[in-house]
Amino acid sequence: MKQWMLALGLMLSAWTLQASNLPFQMTYGEWQQGSVVAVQLDSVQQLLVDDKPLLMDAQGNSVFGIGRDATEVGLRWQDKDGNWHHRQQAIAPRTYDIQHINGLPNNKVNPNPQEVAEIQANNRLVAQTRAKPSVSMTPQLPMIWPTAGRISGVYGSQRVLNGEPRRPHFGVDIAAPEGTVVVAPSDGQVVLVHPSMVLTGQTMMIDHGLGLMSIYVHLSDMNVSVGDYVKRGQLIGKVGKTGRATGPHLHWGMTWRDVQIDAAKLVATAVPPSLTGQ
């Protein structure tokens, strides 16, 4: 009987230890779909989020992202004594704008095979760039809006064309006149500059460190080169409508590794500055 109670007590204390204290302070973000989470780790050797080991700076800062449809994330960490801990963290859901459009002619729904191949090559290049976070830098959070204008598209929205769900829209669209200045929202290193992707036209990517990268799409001009370090607020390009765009706007996307997160959640204000005065 006594042994049984002791065993139960040990199990309970182990469970309490594992389920209670997370080994970090959250310094930015929230447990919500599309959010970035920045943490300051303390007495931890390693932290894995959904089995992906996190990059960490010398001060113990780390970041990770939560996907559009995540309902929970698995956190696994190893303390300084080498013991592993685990916790499933519940994620707050969001509602997304889903648009059903039916009766479209088929050639509007599916691009031709040559275009498909080129689009796939463009996507591969972007994915390969995201897979190699290289800059040793800690993202500055919150960031600033990269341009002024009106939000014309939001994270997570999705169209269903003739019953076929399309890839969700993962960026935030900011409508602004062609030539409006685009600045770096945070320090980083330019890791991709492409003059003519099929869908996204003049396309740029910036690595902000610890796996966090941003993308700028439909630009009319690009003012930096691959390898350049940019400071928050520095001119990087101009708003345009290159690629597949119905009007001039900046599509601004943010990823942690291959997880698409909501760029608007990385900025302190809900909307970008207005164009008044420009």
Q: Give the shortest CB-24-to-Zn ion separation in angstroms.
A: 33
Q: Give the shortest CB-180-to-Zn ion separation in angstroms.
A: 16
H-run or E-run covering 119: helix 113-130
By C-beta, is 64 or 170 nearer to Zn ion? 170
By C-beta, is 64 or 155 nearer to Zn ion? 155
By C-beta, is 70 or 175 nearer to Zn ion? 175
Q: Give the shortest CB-7-to-Zn ion separation in angstroms.
A: 57
Q: Give the shortest CB-236-to-Zn ion separation in angstroms.
A: 17
Q: Give the shortest CB-204-to-Zn ion separation in angstroms.
A: 14
By C-beta, is 85 or 251 nearer to Zn ion? 251
DSSP code per residue over 13-57: HHHHHHHS--SEEEEEE-SBTT-EEEEEE-SEEEEEETTEEPP--
Instruction: For residues 170 and 260, give the distance between their C-alpha atoms in angstroms, rounded to a whole number.
Output: 6
DSSP secondary structure letter of residue 169:
P
Q: Give the shortest CB-161-to-Zn ion separation in angstroms.
A: 16
Nearest residue relative to Zn ion (C-beta): 251
- Which has the closest alpha carbon to 231: 140, 130, 135, 132? 140
Instruction: For residues 237 and 221, give the distance between their C-alpha atoms in angstroms, rounded to a whole number.
Output: 5
By C-beta, is 137 or 198 nearer to Zn ion? 198
Q: Give the shortest CB-152-to-Zn ion separation in angstroms.
A: 8
By C-beta, is 67 or 171 nearer to Zn ion? 171
The Cα-based distances of 156 to 69, 94, 168 in angstroms read 9, 9, 6
By C-beta, is 142 or 153 nearer to Zn ion? 153
Instruction: For residues 246 and 159, give the distance between their C-alpha atoms in angstroms, rounded to a whole number.
Output: 16
Residue 57 · residue 211 · CB < 8 Å: no
Tokens of 261: 């997160």
| Degrees, nearest 5: CA angle 124-216-149 | 150
Which amino acid, one-letter code, is at 35? S
Which residues are near Zn ion by CB under 5 A? Answer: 153, 171, 173, 251
Q: Which residues contact 109 (CB under 8 A, 6 or more apart)?
A: 161, 162, 164
